[in-house]
Structure 1
Amino acid sequence: MVLTLHNLRPHEGATRLESLFLRWFRKLTREAITLIDGVHAGLVAHYIPHGHYKDVYPATGPVSADSDVVAFVGAVRAYKGVDRLVQVFVNHPSNEFRLIVAGGVSDPRLGDEVRALGGHDERVELRLTSLTSNELSDIIDQCFLIVLPFREVLNSGTALLALSLGRPVLMPLGPGSAALQVEFGARWVRTYEGDLTGDVLIGQATQARDDIRRGLGELNWESREWDEIARRHAEVYYLAAGMVRER
């Protein structure tokens, strides 16, 4: 068995049965793959980064400092801190920016909470429904910054999606965001420490727009090209099977 470490533990906890299966899987694991170099959860793990999404979603236009939209996109779940994002945005007096929250909600109570927080504010647009690839790309195309205020996260596919479509991201500081920042630069991957506040959000958005005017620089995706990732995965699976792959 080959185990890929996406996160160190389930986002929303695990049932007793799930915990038993996870422990069993670890005992069966021959090789492990980590998506962040140095994060291995006690296993000897091969570092293979997650691939980009440049060819998966419809292309967006270049990021523009003329946009006033910051956005959260993706499934709305409790650990992602969307309620906190809407709350601090609504409570901040600045009228300089607009907020879009777009993505499906699996917990009706969370959806109701987010609507109660932001539904009355004309600066906030809530699209709490599952999105097609075209709809997702269209929303990202409108904004200049993607905000991902996760309460706890190691890897974020949404962050990679945003970067793949040419949009900088704002995330809490942690191993995953720190690694992305080293790879892509602090202008593309912005971080904050502690709880998200309105001043942090508006301040980071203002700085992000200034950076866009100065130029963000080009992103290098060489290590995240899918052909290279496939080759490295194949090598790990050959190791797990006790085979030596011919080159």
Structure 2
Amino acid sequence: MLTVLPGRDVTGDAWIGETFAAVSRVPVGSRGPVVWPFTPYYSGNPFQAVLYGGFADRSMVAAPAFRVGDLLRGTDGWPADLPLVVHLHWLNQVLAGASSAAAAGAAVDEHSRLLDTLTARGAKLVWTVHNALPHDTAFEAQEVRLREEVLARADLVHVMSPLTAELVSPWFTLPADRTYRCDHPGYQGVYPDWVSALEARSRLRIPEGSVALLVTGALKPYKGLLDLLDAVDVVNAAAPQGIVLVVAGASDGAPETERFLARAYLHPAVRVLPGKVAESDFQVLLRGTDVVALPYRRSLNSGVLALALTFGKPVLLPSGSGSAPVVAADPGAAFLYDAEAGPEALVAALRSLLGADLAAAQVAAAAAGRRIDRATVAGRFADDLRGWADTGHLPRDHAEALPVDEPPS
């Protein structure tokens, strides 16, 4: 799996040493190792550790790097008999420091040059499409060109939603002959889970009889927070304390986010836990609430949705979300609404929560969570990509290969 501990230097000589030490630990007699650098590496996000959870058993060395440029020194003179696959994740870092369109364009050119250098050294390229464009895009034309340049060079494009090609089509086109789908994995076993629902609701001060709605993760305008709060007010006007909104996460500082928080702090139906959520606190949030709200204005994949299903919590989300197919086989796991129909659709969805069978919804959500079980998805991903690295054959798409779930006896 990972070859360094969080916080360790993964650039230059340290990267070379850690990577080849991991290669040396591949058991003799097993398949030859494949070195799999991935970038950018975010040590505070468990997604990559979960995604690569099956790699070690397939003699694949997942080697984190913070930036594409950090791989140049480590791959100079790369052994011809040691397969090298560079896996790109989020691309927002590439243009993050650009202060003008010209600077953004130059950053795209430099990134493309770095990729060309890596491929000239024998590396294959894989890109996971996490979102269409960064949610806080400043230079849209350059962000689009960046993705087009990556797609022109990528040997394999990994998507997690079957709606990806459709949802990104206003900006770029995915190559069907090089696109592979495997689900966003769940987070089973990643976070503590010993707090009871009764204790969690007490800690969050949820009144008896109220439906507790959770918003968590980074607080950003695209997540529709003000829209959600407006809808809660409409519903609670007719059913006082019908819905309690729990908000936990760090603000991005955007004016819209700050306006939301200014209202939320003073709102009797809102509980605000500001700042990054501690790992031990996710269990309180998820055991103490009834439904996880994802009223995002634009969404392709959602780690929060995977986390909600891991804890057996139903979700509230737009029917056009890229995450909607995750719960399609278990309809009770989601309360869907048509975001294009206007604010009243969200209000109606919230009203439906007041009379819903939430216990049944949790059973459905738990079933959906088992479909994206961490070990199962990581095993599929590792098997498929090891096979692709060995043969060049495109892995099978798992869109139609989700297991038929049965409730535990």
TM tier relative to shorter chain: 0.7 to 0.9
Is the Cα contact below 8 Å between 2:228 and 2:295 reproduced in 1? yes
- TM-score normalised according to structure 2 size: 0.53
- Paired residue secondary structure (1:11): coil
- Paired residue secondary structure (1:119): helix
Could you say if the C-alpha distance between residues 20 and 233 of structure 1 is closer, same or farther in structure 2, counting changes exceeding 3 Å? farther
The one-letter code of the counterpart of 1:189 is: A
Structure exhibiting the larger radius of gyration computed from Cα positions? 2
Pairing of 1:69-108 with structure 2 (within 5 A): 69-92=212-235, 93=237, 94-95=239-240, 96-108=242-254
| Partner deviation per Cα, 1:156-175 (whole Å, 9 max, x = no partner) | 11011011011110101115
Could you say if the C-alpha distance between residues 229 and 173 of structure 1 is closer, same or farther in structure 2, counting changes exceeding 3 Å? same
- The answer to whether the aligner puts 1:113 opposite 2:259 as a matched pair is yes
The one-letter code of the counterpart of 1:27 is: A
- TM-score normalised according to structure 1 size: 0.83
**Equivalent position of 2:268 in the other structure:** 122
31-40 or 70-79, which deviates more: 31-40
- Paired residue secondary structure (1:7): coil
**Equivalent position of 1:192 in the other structure:** 337
1:229 to 365, 378, 390: 378
- The answer to whether the aligner puts 1:152 opposite 2:298 as a matched pair is yes
Q: 2:131 & 2:285 partners in 1: Cα distance? A: 27
Q: 2:280 & 2:130 partners in 1: Cα distance? A: 26
2:183 to 19, 40, 49: 49
The one-letter code of the counterpart of 2:231 is: V
| Partner deviation per Cα, 1:221-242 (whole Å, 9 max, x = no partner) | 2554335434434533653576
Q: 2:377 & 2:297 partners in 1: Cα distance? A: 32
- Paired residue secondary structure (1:219): helix
Q: 1:118 & 1:91 partners in 2: Cα distance? A: 15
Specify every segment of 5 or more residues in structure 1 that has no aligned partner in the other structure, as ranges.
none
| Partner deviation per Cα, 1:22-73 (whole Å, 9 max, x = no partner) | 2221111011111023533422211111111121112264699966311111
Q: 1:214 & 1:159 partners in 2: Cα distance? A: 14
Could you say if the C-alpha distance between residues 32 and 80 of structure 1 is closer, same or farther in structure 2, counting changes exceeding 3 Å? same
23-32 or 218-227, which deviates more: 218-227
1:24 to 149, 163, 180: 149
Q: 1:228 & 1:28 partners in 2: Cα distance? A: 26
1:58 to 162, 185, 192: 192
RMSD over aligned Cα atoms: 2.9
Specify every segment of 5 or more residues in structure 2 that has no aligned partner in the other structure, as ranges.
1-124, 166-172, 202-207, 394-409
TM-fit CA distance, 1:106 = 1.3
1:212 to 359, 373, 396: 359
The one-letter code of the counterpart of 2:175 is: L
TM-fit CA distance, 1:111 = 3.7
| Partner deviation per Cα, 1:170-226 (whole Å, 9 max, x = no partner) | 10111524312223x121122100244463243232244x24268734515255433
Q: 1:90 & 1:70 partners in 2: Cα distance? A: 13
Work out the number of aligned pairs and report it.
Answer: 242
**Equivalent position of 1:35 in the other structure:** 160
| Partner deviation per Cα, 1:108-155 (whole Å, 9 max, x = no partner) | 523420133333321111223111111222112110111111011121
